[in-house]
Amino acid sequence: MNDLPVVLPWVTVITVVYNDAANLKATIDSVAALDYPHLEYRVVDGGSTDGTTELIRCHENTVITAWTSEPDNGIYDAMNKGWRASRNDSLIIFLGAGDLLLSLPADMACFQGREVLYGQVLIGRRCFKPSADWRLKCGNTLHHQAMLVPKSLHIEPPFDTVFKMYADFDFNQRLLKRGVSFVYADGFLASALPGGFSSRKDYREMMRVVLNNFGPAWMLTALLYLSLSRLLRILSREARS
């Protein structure tokens, strides 16, 4: 009896960019280097004028499957556009300009499209340790650079543009609230530039997200958890100095 053929899911990589040709090239190259047969790469440009669109044109029909360039209403509006245009049967991952997708999960054929896959993200010299347990109710413990989300879990664009910095955190919490499984995937590795959009903090908006999704008790828990985590980081830096 012949072995059944291996069926690999489709992966959609989406890059949202605006006037960042200097960093976009490395991101395109990282996608081009992936040895994965079922992959589409979509770039959503916000109407760049710095040579970004010329760079995109150099890679269309080779690395880049499709792209648009037009004004948008912010990063999450652009991410929603990319989500809407993606294959309905794909796992979606977002990379910003300068982010690198170093490797996909080791055994993609094992995943059936009903769970969110997540891995590790290198930020400068630091390896971000992800978690998708109770801590995801308190803070943004997952990074989009190493997250594959089945579009089938939310066919319509998922990001609430009321949130300017944490619409992705809000979406992750809503998936968790629905009971969607988050599965750590061996071999799934990405890198992100330090000091990017996701490194900025708006604790008021973060607490609004937690309050909306899990209520006031979890918001208070999140405040205590984040305060304690910040204190431990400060003490750790002082101990090393």
Is the predicted pLDDT of residue 231 greater than 50, yes or no?
Answer: yes
Query: Picking from 74-83, 121-130, 171-180, 214-223, which range would have the lowest pLDDT averaged per residue?
Result: 121-130
Closest CA to 87 of 23, 52, 40, 140: 40
More confident: 136 or 200: 136
Query: Picking from 64-68, 90-94, 122-126, which range would have the lowest pLDDT averaged per residue?
Result: 122-126
Q: What is the mean pLDDT of residues 138-147?
A: 94
- Give the pairing type, strands 90-94 and 66-69: unpaired
DSSP code at position 196 = S
Q: What is the mean pLDDT of residues 54-77?
A: 96
Q: Which CATH number fits domain 10-201: 3.60.15.10, 3.40.50.920, 3.90.550.10, 3.30.460.80?
A: 3.90.550.10
Is the predicted pLDDT of residue 221 greater than 70, yes or no?
Answer: yes
Closest CA to 135 of 211, 203, 212, 210: 210
- pLDDT range class, residue 197, cuts 50, 70, 90: low
> Residue 65: phi, psi to the nearest 5?
-75, -45
Residue 109's pLDDT is what? 87
Quickly count: other Cβ atoms within 10 Å of residue 175's Cβ.
20
Domain spans of the chain, in order of start: 10-201
Q: Determine the distance from the C-alpha atom of residue 33 to the mean position of all C-alpha atoms in its chain, rounded to a whole number.
A: 19
- Angle among Cα 68, 99, 184 to the nearest 5 degrees reads 110
Residue 163's pLDDT is what? 97
